[in-house]
Structure 1
Amino acid sequence: SGWSESKGGSGLSLTEKVGKLKVARESRAGYEREKFKLWVDEDHDGCDTRKEVLLSEAVKKPRQGEDCRLTGGTWRSYYDDKTVTDARKLDIDHVVPLAEGWDSGASTWTAERREAYANDLDAERSLVAVSLSSNRAKGDRDPAEWLPPATDALCTYATDWVATKLRWNLSADRAEIKALHKIAKGCKDATVTYTPAP
């Protein structure tokens, strides 16, 4: 997966990749959540983006009924290291929140590209299933303002964040870069691999 430790693979270290982020001021002017179309069923299999993430991230797979109705299943919310057994108690989090994406480049995109970003199933780590409480605590804040409470989540989170920003060619502000560099110091084995978004 995109955040795994690789032995001499194509991934550069987290510190090196933080250094590849473009530094720019952020602006939230004109942002509305509706400008990102959420939870589409791109492959027309009856399961929208939310359900696709729930299916792919389940520790124990849920049963899939008509219209992709999911019952049962178990998930691990890695932000707070909680085990969740009810899909309704999970949010699908955009690792880099929509508002943060807007602030750092998405405001200039077409509606189609924003929809692709909001439903990015091609990158394993852009969207993650996490507990409602951890997602609500995070809101649309960046790593300078919020970090996951589970200590073993820090390296994964920073790596997911940087990979997503680089994948979508999004900039970062100075406080964010500073926070990421600080985390990266404690993540010697973390490498970042990503594929640029089409």
Structure 2
Amino acid sequence: MIKTLACSLAAFSLALVPLAAAVPAAQARAAEPTVLPIGVAVSSLPVGTESRDGYARTKFKHWNAGVNPSDGCNTRSEVLIAEAVTAPAVGAKCALTGGSWWSYYDEQTVTAAGSLDIDHMVPLAEAWDSGASSWDAKRREAYANDLGQASSLVAVSARTNRSKADQDPAEWLPPAAGALCRYASEWTATKLRWGLTVDGLEKDRLLDLAAGCGGTTVAYTLAP
């Protein structure tokens, strides 16, 4: 009887192994990004009517405590650390010293963290116009501090970020010609990740850019 029971339990345990192993694999597959040719990705963006009624920057809480609230690094600091070409020293309360960064908008090397802005690839006001006005405060905070997709937040020179302000690609593009395909790809990825719409002029400009960016892809995951 005991031997029979032991054999039954062993068989039961073996039967469970494939199921247990399948769970991490399924989770890994779920986290894999969708990758599309840029023309296909841009064409899939839904066109909508934009409205800035009711917008206020304060409706998007940022910067919050980042990935690890106990380390003193807010979202801005997390992006600076992640995107550094030469790693800065991280001191008390996440004070950053040294380091260097590549501002791809203007193809400039920046060696002072204070000379960089963290750009929301799709600016907060543009996100509001494109669908975020219907979100609750928690989702707007998640958008403003999105560390789940590298293209959502980017460290660039303060000068170029402030030149961009809240403009879409029909109104502003990076001054470096070599940045255009990456910028169009990352803008499209951010809109697809968050289910945001585009206006007609914006989509036309993105399609124009895509036509000159053969071989460029758009990779995105859907926001939780």
TM-score normalised according to structure 1 size: 0.94
Moved over 4 A (4+): none
Counterpart AA for 1:68: C
Could you tell me how far 1:14 is from its partner in structure 2?
Answer: 0.5
Helix, strand or coil at the partner of 1:189:
coil
Residue 52 of structure 2 is aligned to residue 11 of structure 1: no
Residue 173 of structure 2 is aligned to residue 177 of structure 1: no
Match of 1:33 in 2: 57
CA distance in 1, matches of 2:218, 2:92: 38
Q: Which runs of 5+ in 1 are unaligned?
A: 1-8
CA offset digits 1:50-74 (Å, max 9, x no partner): 0000000000000000010000000
CA offset digits 1:135-191 (Å, max 9, x no partner): 011000000000000111000000000000000000000000000000001110111
Helix, strand or coil at the partner of 2:160:
helix
Residue 68 of structure 2 is aligned to residue 68 of structure 1: no
Task: Tell me how large the CA RMSD over aligned residues is.
Answer: 0.9
Match of 1:5 in 2: none
Equivalent residue runs for 1:121-136 within 5 Å: 121-136=147-162
- Report which structure shows greater RCO (CA 8 Å, sep ≥6): 1
CA offset digits 1:75-112 (Å, max 9, x no partner): 01000001100000000000000000000000000000
Identity of aligned residues (%): 59
CA distance in 2, matches of 1:197, 1:125: 13
Helix, strand or coil at the partner of 2:49:
coil
Residue 118 of structure 2 is aligned to residue 92 of structure 1: yes
Equivalent residue runs for 1:159-198 within 5 Å: 159-198=185-224
Equivalent residue runs for 1:127-146 within 5 Å: 127-146=153-172
Could you tell me how far 1:10 is from its partner in structure 2?
Answer: 5.0
Counterpart AA for 1:115: E
Counterpart AA for 1:127: L
Are the aligned partners of 2:184 and 2:209 in contact in 1 as well (CA < 8 Å)? yes
Bigger helix share: 2
CA offset digits 1:19-65 (Å, max 9, x no partner): 11110110000000000000111421210000000000000000000
Q: Which runs of 5+ in 2 are unaligned?
A: 1-32
Match of 1:81 in 2: 107
Helix, strand or coil at the partner of 2:179:
helix
Are the aligned partners of 2:169 and 2:205 in contact in 1 as well (CA < 8 Å)? yes
Match of 1:24 in 2: 48
Match of 1:6 in 2: none
Larger Rg over CA atoms = 2
Are the aligned partners of 2:85 and 2:99 in contact in 1 as well (CA < 8 Å)? yes
